[in-house]
Structure 1
Amino acid sequence: MKCAIIMDNGFEELEAMGPIALLRRGGVDVDLVSVHDDHVTGRFGVTYSKTTPMKDYDFDAIDCLIIPGGAHAKKLEANPDVLELIKKVANDDSKVLAAICAAPTILGKLGLLKGKDYTCFKSMNEDFGGNYHYQYVVEDGNLITGISASAAEEFGFAILEKLTGKEHTDEVKASIYYDAAH
């Protein structure tokens, strides 16, 4: 399995790092893709210095596209290449589209949440034509949405389970002593 996480400067670090670490721990390849350069810096100054510029990346080879939230969401929303990529992935039944916090609003503005169950950062929710749920993670088919940075771990596990199955995900959870009840 292969995921690409797309970022521009200002991404929310926890929403990127959590899923990256959990997916890699679970044996999923995760490629870091920046919109412009070979590096990208998050909201709190964490820089990923080995990213692949979007123009050089083969998105046809992925099983999942992950979009973290943060201030970069406005930049992603204003980028026609990113919007085309999101639409392409959303319309491919063989691919998973995962967005967290502010990022699901991009999908909503593209009309991709119509008739879907979803979540996003509560104050950013608009009438996107779908069914908003105030919970950590919501899945609807191949769409996975997360509410905020506090949901990064649950979001990462939801993606892992969608890609590799519940049994494997439970093994990864056990390897880090994950207990959802505590």
Structure 2
Amino acid sequence: MTDLTGKRIAFLATNGFEDSELTSPWAAVTNAGAAALMIAPEGDSIEGKNGHTQDVDELSASANADSFDALVLPGGVVNADHLRMDEASIAFAKAFFEASKPVGVICHGSWLLIEAGVVDGRTITSYPSLKTDLKNAGAEWVDEEVVVDQGLVSSRTPDDLPAFNAKVIEEIAEGAHAGQHA
């Protein structure tokens, strides 16, 4: 496993996230030595659709992408739908692309990236129901377990988590990617 000691990873989510899509990557990056912090639009804690509760470390309105080495966006329909309506969360996610930092996104999480305007010209996968949304936003959608495009790591469902976690760790270890842009 690649060593991520000293790296700070932001996880951006809100209530209704897909539990395993938060807990599995969180465990993977922390087991690799990184510090994981939960960023959310509001509240002291958030709850996944299956009951996992996660303490919030910082609100998206005050969070600064400069303080982090990478971003992970868990899925979950309710989570993703609420985040894409939150301007601070959109701006926070977009800032990682502007700084060429690695971003991992799974399932419905890419709805936020569509709102941030960062998928045009990118190759990405997602939960299949987002295929048309991503294509309409200018992305090339593919049906693969994990896709890496210049620091952008994407996967479809919880079944893809082992491959997603491995690639997220690899991309974070590599650092900034010149092709990662807003």
TM-score normalised by structure 2 residue count = 0.83
Kindly indicate whether residue 18 of structure 2 is the aligned counterpart of residue 8 of structure 1: no
Partner of 1:74: 81
The 3-state SS of whatever aligns with 2:11 is: strand
Contact 1:99 1:146 in 2 (8 A): yes
Partner of 1:171: none
1:85 deviates by: 1.1
Give the Cα separation in 1 of the matches to 2:62 and 2:139.
34
Partner of 1:90: 97
Residue number among 54, 59, 64 corresponding to 2:60 in the alignment: 54
1:153 deviates by: 2.3
Kindly indicate whether residue 143 of structure 2 is the aligned counterpart of residue 137 of structure 1: no
The 3-state SS of whatever aligns with 2:99 is: coil
Give the Cα separation in 1 of the matches to 2:98 and 2:64.
17
Q: Which runs of 5+ in 1 are unaligned?
A: 166-182
Residue number among 155, 158, 166 corresponding to 2:164 in the alignment: 155
- Whichever residue aligns with residue 16 of structure 2, its letter is G
> 1:136-166 CA deviation, whole Å, 9 max, x = no partner?
111100211111121122211111111226x
Contact 2:61 2:89 in 1 (8 A): no
Partner of 2:125: 119
Cα gap change, 1:58/1:111 in structure 2, threshold over 3 Å: closer, same or farther? Answer: closer
Cα gap change, 1:15/1:32 in structure 2, threshold over 3 Å: closer, same or farther? Answer: same
Give the Cα separation in 1 of the matches to 2:83 and 2:45.
16
Give the Cα separation in 2 of the matches to 1:110 and 1:50.
22
> 1:6-62 CA deviation, whole Å, 9 max, x = no partner?
110000111011100011111111112222012110001111135333345343110
What RMSD, in angstroms, separates the aligned Cα atoms of the two structures?
1.6
Aligned residues: 164
Give the Cα separation in 1 of the matches to 2:11 and 2:119.
20
Q: Which runs of 5+ in 2 are unaligned?
A: 1-6, 175-182
Bigger radius of gyration: 1
Contact 1:37 1:51 in 2 (8 A): no
Contact 2:65 2:95 in 1 (8 A): no
Identity across the alignment (%): 23
Partner of 2:173: 164
Contact 1:23 1:160 in 2 (8 A): yes
TM-score normalised by structure 1 residue count = 0.83
